Amino acid sequence: MFPNFFLVGAPKSGTTSLFYYLTGHPDVYMCPVKEPNYFSYPYIQRQNLYYTTSNVTSLNEYESLFDHVQNEKIVGEASVSYLFYKNVSARIKNSVPNAKVIILLRDPVERGFSHYLMDHRLGFISSSFEDVIYKRSSSPLLHLYYQQVVELGIYFHQVKRYVDSFGFEKVKIFLSEDLKNNNSSVMASVCEFLEIDPHIPLDSEKQYNVYRRPRNRIVRSLYSIKLLRSAGRSVIPVTSLDTIKNFFLIKEKKPELSPETRKYLVNFYKKDILKLSDFIGRDLSAWTLTA
C-alpha cells in the first residue's frame, strides 16, 4: 500500500509540528516512521549526506509501514528531503498519480540559520555560520553544509516541480509563520485540502523542534555521537522522541544573526523570493526585510 498524501518540507519549517497535529486526527494515518525517505534515498545515498537517517530502501519495507492502516481516509508520510531533490516529485507522481502534497516554507534566512543551529547542536558542523555561508570553512563537507544551510532555501524551482507534476489543485503551500501565528486557520485549511473533518479537536498549539541546546557539556558530547542517536531512534517510538529530547535539551533564547549576515542572505535570496511570490500568489515581502 502507498500513501495518498505527502508532507514534503522544507526542513525546519514546521513539518514536524504538522506531522504530529495530523497524527491526532481519526481520519488520518501518518506513517509511524517520520522521514522514511523512500523516494529520495538514492540521491541521499549518492551524496553520502552526513546525517544518520535510517532510509527505507525497498518497496516491501516501505509498504509495510502502512500495514496498520484501517479505515483512515488520508494515509500520509512526511520526508522533508522530498522537496529538494529534483526527481522526487516525478517518482512520487509515477507511483501515486493522485497524491495530495503539502509544502511548508519558511523565511529562507531564518530557515537556514535554524538548520545550522540544529546541525551544530548535533555535532555535524563545527564551523561558524558565516564560514559556511561565505564558504570559508576548510571542512571537506563544506559543499554539503552549504547545501543544507543555504541551497535548501532556494525554493522556487523546488515548489514548481511539484506544481508541474501534480497541479495546484493537488499541491497546497503554507508558510511556517502562518502555522505559528494563525494555527487554527491553517489547520482548518489543511483539513479542507485533505477533505477531512475540520471540527475534530486537534492538539495543535504545541510547537515541535523549537530551538534548544544540550543541558550541559556531558549531554552535548553524548548527543553528538551519531551511533547513539541512531540507536535511540530505532527503539524509541516517534511519538515519544520529543519527551526524551526535553530531558536532555533545554529551551533558551535563540541566537540572533548579525545585521550584516542577514543583509547578505536576503540579497542572495531576493530574486528567488520574488519569483516564488509571483508563482504562488503570496506576499513574501517580509522575507526581504534586512532588519
Q: Is the pLDDT of residue 144 over 80?
A: yes
Furthest CA-CA distance within the chain: 53
CATH number of 5-211+254-283: 3.40.50.300
Q: What is the CA radius of gyration of the chain?
A: 19
Q: Do 272 and 155 form a contact (C-beta atoms < 8 A)?
A: yes
Distance CA(254)–CA(249), nearest Å, equals: 13
% the chain with pLDDT above 70: 81
Cβ–Cβ < 8 Å for 257, 246: no
Q: How confident is the model at residue 271 (pLDDT cuts 50, 70, 90)?
A: very high
- Is residue 164 scored above 60 in pLDDT? yes
Average pLDDT over the chain, rounded to an integer: 88
Q: Return d(Cα 65, Cα 57) in angstroms, integer.
A: 12
pLDDT score at 122: 82
Q: Taking the model in full, what pTM does it have?
A: 0.85
Q: Flag whether pLDDT at 233 surpasses 80.
A: no
Q: Distance of CA 17 to CAs 137, 226, 272, Å?
A: 33, 24, 26
